Amino acid sequence: MKILVTGGAGFIGSAVVRHLLKNTQDNVINVDALTYAGNTESIPDELQGGRYTFEQVDICDAAEMKRVFETHQPDAVMHLAAESHVDRSIDGPGAFIQTNVVGTYTLLDAAREYWQNLTKERKAQFLFHHISTDEVYGDLPHPDELPSGSELPLFTEDTPYAPSSPYSASKASSDHLVRSWQRTYGLPTVITNCSNNYGPYHFPEKLVPHIILNALAGKPLPVYGDGSQIRDWLFVEDHARALCLVVKSGRVGETFNIGGHNEKRNLDVVRTICALLDELAPEQRAADISAYADLITFVKDRPGHDARYAIDATLIQKELGWSPEEDFVSGMRKTVQWYLSNESWWQRVLTGKYKLGRLGEGE
Ligand code: NAD
């Protein structure tokens, strides 16, 4: 297959590209504008052989997207390009509307025009896979607010949309656009909504890498509010495996929720990382503390902060036979170990040198 991946230089997109290049014979066309979150160094050189092509293109550019489709003739699209950081969406929602809504519209329309002109056989095989988030569903009641013993609800594929932040509202809009392009124009689409990811090559502004790198630098470890918010965590390579299964075996019109059944309070996530660092990097701990957790600092809560997310991933497990390979501690151990072993990658992100070119250049 020839798969056009948008956002393949980002955190999850690069995991998808690495998975496809390592485990399949597929050709990959990575379309990425290289915003601050895009990093070509997340695709190791040894994987960038003849099956990999990079196009630095903004998905909002209709003429360029038309050219990309005509030049590369993909069999499927995996759409991950997005503005993805909730805090940035609160400070500046415009970029989120532009990329996540206008960009998805532009991409859908380029895909529709291309798909309509395919031969009957290729038309029937084409799939547009839109990658989205569980944040479109809003939040769920927190166990602390329910009578003890109450059954805790989960997000299913039928949960109504109720986004809370500009980020999740823009992702909800993009999901609606994708469904409407299928219903109105017949474009074959599938949508996946996933819980919080963590793992290697995660941009340091996000919670997990931010905590690991601050801890190693002896800086405060900020936790919003009282740290009681619950997220459902999934190791990024398990997500990438699920996405590659969906693009090949998902049926047109389906929606799949993807999650790891790993509900954790934010404070417990931070404590787990600290305990792993105490075990794996005791010599890097600042001299004035006895445990990395001593650096935990509570800060003012994020406005509109969702209380709890939790995914029911039964459908993808039953229909496609997918289940996560990593539990929370094994995945987090791999993640902490990766950051300890790959300082050159994150140092180049922290210093901005990743914007200058491949590792070893622009020093
Ligand atoms: P990311 O911010 O790490 O990467 C986004 C990528 O998109 C970057 O490489 C960036 O350069 C590129 N991009 C941004 N605007 C673009 C544009 N206009 N044109 C072309 N490329 C552009 O994001 P991520 O965490 O890898 O998330 C990928 C997708 O998965 C997003 O759609 C996000 O909503 C969704 N998602 C993320 C999570 C998570 O926990 N990170 C969970 C569920 C779903």
Convert the pLDDT of each residue in 4-51 to its tens digit: 999 999 999 999 999 999 999 999 999 999 999 999 999 999 999 899
Catalytic residues: 134-135, 167
Q: What is the pLDDT of residues 152-197, one digit of tens each?
A: 899 999 999 999 999 999 999 999 999 999 999 999 999 999 999 9
Backbone angles phi, psi at 123, to 5 degrees: -60, -40
- Which pLDDT band holds residue 301 (cuts at 50, 70, 90)? confident
Backbone angles phi, psi at 283, to 5 degrees: -75, -20
Distance CA 208, CA 27 (A): 31
Indicate whether this model's pTM tops 0.90.
Answer: yes
**Mean pLDDT within 258-282:** 96
Residue 205 buriedness (CB in 10 A; 0-12 / 13-18 / 19+): middle
Domains of the chain by start residue, with CATH: 2-300+309-355 (3.40.50.720)
Backbone angles phi, psi at 242, to 5 degrees: -65, -45
H helices of 41-119, in order, are 62-72, 86-91, 94-96, 104-116
Residue 194 buriedness (CB in 10 A; 0-12 / 13-18 / 19+): buried
Mean per-residue pLDDT of the chain: 95
Regarding the beta carbon of 324 and ligand 1, being less than 6 Å apart is answered no
**Mean pLDDT within 210-223:** 96
Regarding the beta carbon of 192 and ligand 1, being less than 6 Å apart is answered no
Q: How far is the CA of 119 from the centre of ligand 1 (A)?
A: 31
Please choose, from the candidates 315, 316, 172, the residue with its C-alpha nearest in 3D space to the C-alpha of residue 241.
Answer: 316
- Cβ neighbours of residue 38 closer than 8 Å, sequence gap 6 or more: 7, 9, 10, 32
> What pLDDT, on the 0 to 100 scale, is given for residue 250?
93
Regarding the beta carbon of 37 and ligand 1, being less than 6 Å apart is answered yes
